[in-house]
Amino acid sequence: MTEQKIEQIVLDKFDAAFQNAGIDCIQLVGAWQPSEEGYDKALEDGAKTGVLAVKVYPRIYDTPTIPDGQLQVDVALTMRAEVDSAGTGYLAVTQVVSDVLHAWQKSYTGYAEDFRIQDEFEPTGFNLESGDVGLDKENCVWQYSHSFILRGIIT
């Protein structure tokens, strides 16, 4: 399924960026991704201080019977504020996520190289959409979200 493959690409890109930044406190979860053997996908990893969830919505076609389409992707980060009361860890994580998203926005070549799936998805454009940030005091968590749209030929 194209949506699942696209979601895995996004997760892999964030995972590599976190590793490059020396960040290992974030659990990555994808809506279309099955959990590893013996692991309950719905449970948070207690050893991590945050969860980054990626969700790719089902495809939308721009016009009838033409394969030009788009895939909306939401990225949502939640981090425990009680272990990061100053928000410095939150800032480091959101900077990495923002850098990855901005790189796709500013470079068609980079976007196309990352998302091209042979005989399945030919990228034509990337749009970084709206997002949100803040502290949920009631649940004591930092939150960050951002949406983007992948445009392309879905075959």
Return the axis-axis angle of helices 2-20 and 88-106, rounded to nearest 10°: 120
Q: How many domains does the structure of the chain reveal?
A: 1
Q: What is the CB neighbour count within 10 angstroms for residue 95? A: 13
pLDDT at 43: 66
CB-CB contact of 117 with 5 (8 Å): yes
| 3-state DSSP percent of the chain in helix, strand and coil, to 5 | 30, 35, 30
- Which amino acid, residue 129? E
pLDDT at 86: 87
Domain that holds residue 95: 2-154
Q: What is the CATH number of the domain that holds 80?
A: 3.30.70.1700
Per-residue confidence in pLDDT tens, the chain, 155 aa:
999 999 999 999 999 999 999 999 999 999 999 877 656 666 677 678 899 999 999 999 988 888 999 999 999 999 999 888 888 999 999 999 999 999 999 999 999 999 999 999 999 999 999 999 999 999 999 999 999 999 999 98
Nearest CA-CA partner of 75 in 60, 90, 94, 58: 94
The predicted model scores a pTM of 0.93
Question: Which residue stretches of the chain are H helix?
Answer: 2-20, 88-106, 108-115
